A and B are shown apart, each in its own frame.
Chain A
Amino acid sequence: QSVLTQPPSASGTPGQRVTISCSGSSSNIGRNAVTWYQQLPGTAPKLLIYSNHQRPSGVPDRFSGSKSGTSASLAISGLQSEDEADYSCATWDDSLNGVVFGGGTKLTVL
């Protein structure tokens, strides 16, 4: 059971905009920045969004992050087939004194 809650799956068609949610609590998302990772099958996670909405260099601006209260969201616009992957949110938890992850959302591009 993950500390952060994500939907197990999401889907969309090419060109569409999809949103993946990440729900936490006052001890984690409510107080700390959220990070998002993309994980293609059989590969290590890749940093997608940090500090709630910042994109590392090389990440397309089709990917955007936001946070409000104890929840965060990842939005992908102009969906492409290569976006098919697992997406996980993460943040620091002050009560647990550690990093917590969501269970991951498998995105399917139909």
Chain B
Amino acid sequence: QVQLVQSGAEVKKPGASVKVSCKTSGYTFTDYYLHWVRQAPGQGLEWMGWIKPNTGDTNYAQKFQGWVTMSRDTSISTAYMELIRLRPDDTAVYYCARDEGYGDQAFDYWGQGTLVTVSS
């Protein structure tokens, strides 16, 4: 069965960076785009961008350009999201999600989420 398993919770100081991993299984990693979505406490979902695993091509939301890097390691079917220059308002649960591939950016499988807390 399809699974997306993310790395564990992180606590970071302002100005630091964080790298979250998303290990996939149960399907061909290079066949589906992977997206990253975050959710601040009590807030709605916010799309950060996608990575195309077979080429490494990325598309970041305008807000995160210059600030986020998405990458992947096809040998272990894992995607990564790194956010730099963290601020307290980056405190959120970060999700990876698989694009179901029908062309309408619907996310059919999600990771369990990784809580990133930014605090001095």
Instruction: Give the contacting residue for B44; candidates A33, A92, A97, A102; CB below 8 A.
Output: A102
| A residues contacting the other copy or chain, number (CB 8 A) | 25
Tell me whether A88 is interfacial, beta carbon within 8 Å: yes
Q: Which residues A46-74 have CB closer than 8 A to chain B?
A: 46-47, 50-51, 56
Q: Does B16 contact A (CB under 8 A)?
A: no
B-contacting residues, A70-109, CB 8 Å: 88, 90-92, 96-104
B51-93 interface mask toward A, CB cutoff 8 Å, 1 = contact, 0 = none?
0000000010110000000000000000000000000000000
The answer to whether the Cβ of A23 comes within 8 Å of any Cβ in the partner chain is no
A44 located at the interface, meaning its Cβ lies under 8 Å from any Cβ of chain B in the complex: yes
Task: Check if A90 sits within 8 Å of B59, measured CB to CB.
Answer: no
The complex places the Cα of A37 from the Cα of B109 at a distance, in Å, of: 11
| Contact between A99 and B44, CB atoms less than 8 A apart | no
Cβ–Cβ contact B44 & A103, under 8 A: yes
The count of residues in chain B whose C-beta lies closer than 8 Å to any C-beta of chain A is 25
In the complex, A33→B102 CA distance in Å? 10
Partner of A45, one of B62, B95, B104, B105: B95
Q: Determine whether the beta carbon of B44 is less than 8 Å from that of A32.
A: no
Contact, CB under 8 Å: A51 / B102: yes
Please report the C-alpha to C-alpha distance between residue A46 and residue B35 in the assembled complex, in whole angstroms.
14
Q: How far is the CA of A85 from the CA of B105 in the complex (A)?
A: 22
Q: Does B47 lie at the interface of the complex (its beta carbon under 8 Å from any beta carbon of A)?
A: yes
Least Cβ–Cβ distance between B57 and chain A, in angstroms: 13
Contact A101 B45 (CB under 8 A): yes
Q: Which of B106, B110, B112, B113 contacts A50 (CB 8 A)?
A: B106
What distance in Å separates the Cβ of B74 from its nearest Cβ neighbour in chain A? Answer: 24
Residues of B within 8 A of A21 (CB): none
Contact A47 B100 (CB under 8 A): yes
Chain B positions near chain A (C-beta within 8 angstroms): 35, 37, 43-47, 49, 59, 61-62, 95, 97, 100, 102-108, 110-113
Interface of A toward B, CB cutoff 8 Å: 2, 32-33, 35, 37, 44-47, 50-51, 56, 88, 90-92, 96-104
